[in-house]
Structure 1
Amino acid sequence: MTLVYDCEQGFQFIASIERDYNGAIAWVFLPGETVKLPVVVSASGAKFSDGKITYWSSKGGALLEYNGKEYKQCKVNRKQSIWEDAKLRGVDFRAVGNEPGWTLEIRNSEQILFVTNYGQDRYVFPAPEPVSNTATHTTEYKTSADGKALTVTLKGKQCDDSMADDETYPTTVTIQFDGRHYMGCSTPLH
């Protein structure tokens, strides 16, 4: 689970919680450094600390003690958390669309995951070598698996999310899958 937190005074940090053989740990991404924090006992929520830096999450918010400062009012930025989680899972490119809600992830140039029908249906395809056309500013992936064909076209053209007035992406995505046409927006994850 990866969470992006927006704190007071414009401070932002990312925390990724995972389990290892010793229990839970938190990777906390701070300006200029990444720290691994072990879990410590707390009265409520999940608390991680190395004695210098403390990350304590509870009920959708967090407290961070870092660099001699205490950030008490840190709130989860849900939208950014989804994109950061994908990036940390090794996703190179992520796209989203509506009606019905769908996501597409290209991972390590090896796999394409297409999730549609508001998360109900998941399809995994091998990622083929992309075919790029500099004249039209497009990149196309054509692949198939289990009797289903998928064509993904990425166009270097600004895309406005039809369900979020303020959300603009640098890439327009068109998908042809199982006789249906899907439109959406995307951005590369670096």
Structure 2
Amino acid sequence: MSRHAPLRLALPLLLALGLSGCVTYVSAPAPEATSSAPEAADPAQDAASAKAKAPLLPSMLFPGEADELVGWRCTPAQDLVTAATEEELRLWSAQGGTRLAPAVVASGARYQQGDLSLWNKGREALVESQRGRLDCRVDVTRDALTRAEHPGVMFRGQGNEPGWHVALANDVPELTMTLDYGRREVTLPYRVTTLDNDAGRVILASGQAARPFSLRIEAKACFDDMSGQPWPARVTLSLNDRVYRGCGQGIAP
């Protein structure tokens, strides 16, 4: 993960764990506008864009060295996502994401950052902060995306109804959109309009004025609205007066 910009630990983002509402599951996109998707990109794209390097994305969009993402259902109502290794635990809620370091515990595994802690044993976990506690249980797990599965891709986002996905190239600022269950695909250059490492947020816009789009990526717990699978990022793609909402994950080399 050394290639990606570090994220300063943001404890306030998760202090409201015990009082906040449920994570909102991604919803189906709004009805399709009549305008069509942009045509395939011209092979002779702007030379300056071709030579540019892909940006360094916030590290909390990635699961770190973890091989698995875990979705938790908690009481009071709150859904969390975690990715754990022996060195750290990455935790995402509706408010954002943060890292917790291992702490001494008699049994199970315990992680802590300031007043925020997570202790888990088997399929159960206890999350505590200054504002309360959450009793959680594993709901669903999935394997983290890898570069071997998605060569050349630094970040992938996807959604449903109709099926779509976006892929950010790992070397140059280019984005490939695949829409309508794979029937439409376009690759375009992009520019970064917002990059907030502390909040784990990045907003991209089209690099071609004639083919506008925007892509918003946020490090927050996200659950696929069909499979329920957990993800560390929420993704919003705006294209041709239509909004696609889904989940995503950064993919490290």
Taking structure 2 as the reference length, what is the TM-score of the superposition? 0.39
State the match for 2:232 in structure 1: 170
Matched, 1:105 2:171: no
In the TM superposition, residue 134 of structure 1 has moved relative to its aligned partner by 4.9
State the match for 2:213 in structure 1: 150
Say which structure, 1 or 2, has more relative contact order (CA 8 Å, 6+ apart). Answer: 2
Structure 1 residues 163 and 186, CA gap change in structure 2 (3 angstroms): same
Give the secondary-structure state (helix, strand or coil) at the position aligned to 2:249: strand
User: Separation in 2 of the partners of 1:90 and 1:134?
Assistant: 22
Give the secondary-structure state (helix, strand or coil) at the position aligned to 2:191: coil
Structure 1 residues 171 and 140, CA gap change in structure 2 (3 angstroms): same
Measured on the aligned residues, the alpha-carbon RMSD in Å equals 2.7
**Percentage identity across aligned positions?**
22
User: Separation in 1 of the partners of 2:158 and 2:207?
Assistant: 20
User: Separation in 1 of the partners of 2:223 and 2:207?
Assistant: 29
Give the secondary-structure state (helix, strand or coil) at the position aligned to 1:162: coil
**Deviation digits for residues 5-45 of structure 1, max 9, x if unmatched?**
xxxxxxxxxxxxxxxxxxxxxxxxxxxxxxxxxxxxxxxxx
> 2:240 corresponds to which letter in structure 1?
D
State the match for 1:120 in structure 2: 183
Structure 1 residues 82 and 155, CA gap change in structure 2 (3 angstroms): closer
- Structure 2: runs of 5+ lacking an equivalent: 1-141
Structure 1 residues 120 and 146, CA gap change in structure 2 (3 angstroms): farther
Larger radius of gyration: 1
Structure 1 residues 81 and 187, CA gap change in structure 2 (3 angstroms): closer
Structure 1 residues 157 and 178, CA gap change in structure 2 (3 angstroms): same
Identify, as 1 or 2, the structure richer in strand: 1
Matched, 1:96 2:158: yes
> 2:176 corresponds to which letter in structure 1?
L
User: Separation in 1 of the partners of 2:219 and 2:249?
Assistant: 10
Matched, 1:182 2:244: yes
User: Separation in 1 of the partners of 2:234 and 2:144?
Assistant: 22
> 2:226 corresponds to which letter in structure 1?
M
- Structure 1: runs of 5+ lacking an equivalent: 1-78
In the TM superposition, residue 135 of structure 1 has moved relative to its aligned partner by 6.3
Moved over 4 A (4+): 79-86
> 1:124 corresponds to which letter in structure 2?
T
Query: Do 2:192 and 2:202's aligned partners in 1 also have CA atoms closer than 8 Å?
Result: no
